[in-house]
Amino acid sequence: MQSASASRSPAPSFAPADASVAPSLAQFDPELAGFIDDEAVRQRETVRLIASENYASRAVREASASLLANKYSEGYPGARYYEGQQNIDKVERLAIARAKSLFGAEHVNVQPHSGSPANLAVYLAFLQPGDPVLALDLAHGGHLTHGARVSLTGKHWNVQHYGLSRETGRLDYDAIRAQARELQPRLIIAGHTAYPRHQDFAAFRSIADEVGAILMVDMAHFAGLVAGGVHPSPLPYADVVTTTTHKSLRGPRGAMILCREAHAARIDKAVFPGLQGGPHNAITAAIAVCMKEATTPEFARYAQACVSNAAALADSLLEHGFELVTGGTDNHLVLVDLRSKGLGGKPVAQALDRAGLVANYNAVPWDTRPPRDPSGLRLGSPAMSARGFGEAEFRQIGAWIASAVDSGLDEAVLARIAGEVRELCVRYPMP
Ligand code: DSN
């Protein structure tokens, strides 16, 4: 009897015999290829501090650029609307099984194209237009899709916001409970994009239970830390958890929704056909790779480094006289309040970019400046932790930021830092 592999036809070769038949990107479109090469240099030679960015591995990038993108697959494994799903179904089932195992989830949908559609799918699954929702204010670390006025979520649902306490500078769960009693929300959203502390998911569960709300946690920012075992998991507490896969998780640009089995059918229906058509199958494959990478000891070490490096950066900034929202960090991000330095976040972020330190300006709680020119600077540790930076390098980053700010953003100082940044970065190869 023939073995399974012996019965297969010889492995096909996809390589064209003659490059003129199928030119490479660089051959066909050198202008565009040049832009990509320039971006590779930028990513290699700068210190990337945007808290939501990272470096995906070669394996993740190979999967996400694969020919699986050629296939349409509306529906779910075993129940598609198009034929020819023999391989795609295996890919999606593998991604789902690995995500369930990694996070201990009962059900996972790996099809949302990114974080905003994942969050929208939750609204669609559980709410009617106009229903009350309680979520973290954008200026206090929430996300646009947590009901910001400019977002669809703020226009179609009655979203009220909770924020940090003026007394403690942290979330105040008694105040959130009082707001929930008043509003009687159908949905409560926890999670954040710029809160440098752990959130108390048990407290959110208790508040949701008291008012009969669904509890959603948007863990996009800290999913990699949860996977690496260095951050509390929301899974035991939330009805539904959303996450992107490209932030601290280091996967492709995609998203997932993890939920209890009881909610599986309505979540799946909300993603497809509620919001999306065909899933991005190459991204699904890359999510499967990312889920496998996230189980490795190397990933756990990286996640630990994200936390210790952010703490080292926070300490360095405090020693240099900066004020930090909540006074420090428990996770991968630091939010600097620049008001005491008399500078706005935008000019500082733009100047740091010229120095090779790439971050983003950000609102701080009770910001008196407008969102397009706010008072804060958000810094994150994931990307440079993935490159192998340790606490010493992150302390150096704090010293560079202090030099730049204390010089009044002097161009000569920025140029000197840019040279030192480049020298340091070339010693740490990109993943
Ligand atoms: N743009 C992301 C961030 O930077 O936090 C949120 O989607």
Whichever domain contains 86, its CATH number is 3.40.640.10
Pocket of ligand 1 from Cβ distances under 6 Å: 52, 115, 143, 193
Establish if 51 belongs to a structural domain.
no
Distance 416 CA to ligand 1 centre (A): 30
Distance 192 CA to ligand 1 centre (A): 9
Distance 350 CA to ligand 1 centre (A): 18
For residues 54 and 247, is the Cβ–Cβ distance under 8 A?
Answer: yes
Last residue of a domain, one of 293, 314, 335: 293
**Using CA atoms, how far apart are residues 193 and 222, in angstroms rounded to an integer?**
9
CA–CA distance from 385 to each of 67, 200, 242, 424 (Å)? 31, 26, 24, 14
Answer whether residue 148 shows pLDDT above 80: yes
Position 4 scores a pLDDT of: 45
Q: Tell me if residue 167 is catalytic.
A: no
Whether residue 147 sits in one domain with residue 78:
yes
Counting from 1 in the atom list of ligand 1, the atom nearest the Cα of 53 is: 4
Establish if 5 belongs to a structural domain.
no
Distance 363 CA to ligand 1 centre (A): 13
Answer whether residue 133 shows pLDDT above 50: yes
Whether residue 302 sits in one domain with residue 283:
no
Whether residue 259 sits in one domain with residue 112:
yes
Side chain identity at residue 246, one-letter code: H
Per-residue pLDDT band at 3 (split at 50, 70, 90): very low
Whether residue 360 sits in one domain with residue 273:
no
Instruction: Quick: pLDDT tens for 260-288.
Output: 999 999 999 999 999 999 999 999 999 99
Domain that holds residue 332: 297-426
- Among protein residues, the one with the nearest Cα to ligand 1's atom 6 is 193
Distance 242 CA to ligand 1 centre (A): 13
**Using CA atoms, how far apart are residues 125 and 268, in angstroms rounded to an integer?**
9
Question: Of residues 72, 100, 395, 422, which has the active-site annotation?
Answer: 72
Last residue of a domain, one of 293, 316, 351: 293
Last residue of a domain, one of 293, 316, 350: 293
Establish if 228 belongs to a structural domain.
yes
SS3 labels along 21-53: CCCCHHHHCHHHHHHHHHHHHHHHHCEECCCCC
Counting from 1 in the atom list of ligand 1, the atom nearest the Cα of 115 is: 7
Instruction: Quick: pLDDT tens for 70-121.
Output: 999 999 999 999 999 999 999 999 999 999 999 999 999 999 999 999 999 9
Give the bridge partners for 217, in sequence order: 190, 241
Average pLDDT, the chain: 95
Q: Tell me if residue 72 is catalytic.
A: yes
Q: Tell me if residue 100 is catalytic.
A: no
Whether residue 319 sits in one domain with residue 397:
yes
Our mutation pick for probing the ligand 1 site, out of 49, 143, 333, 335, counting the most ligand atoms within 8 A of Cβ, is 143
For residues 328 and 171, is the Cβ–Cβ distance under 8 A?
Answer: no
Whether residue 211 sits in one domain with residue 350:
no
Whether residue 253 sits in one domain with residue 383:
no
- Among protein residues, the one with the nearest Cα to ligand 1's atom 2 is 52
Q: Residue 382: which of 316, 423, 329 has the closest Cα?
A: 329
Q: Tell me if residue 244 is catalytic.
A: yes
- Among protein residues, the one with the nearest Cα to ligand 1's atom 4 is 52
- Among protein residues, the one with the nearest Cα to ligand 1's atom 3 is 52
For the entire predicted model, the pTM comes to: 0.95
Count of structural domains within the chain: 2
Question: Of residues 92, 137, 218, 239, which has the active-site annotation?
Answer: 218
Q: Locate 401 and state its tokens.
A: 């930021």
Whether residue 226 sits in one domain with residue 368:
no
For residues 231 and 90, is the Cβ–Cβ distance under 8 A?
Answer: no
Establish if 38 belongs to a structural domain.
no
Instruction: Quick: pLDDT tens for 412-430.
Output: 999 999 999 999 999 999 9
Establish if 57 belongs to a structural domain.
no
Q: Residue 225: which of 64, 333, 378 has the closest Cα?
A: 333
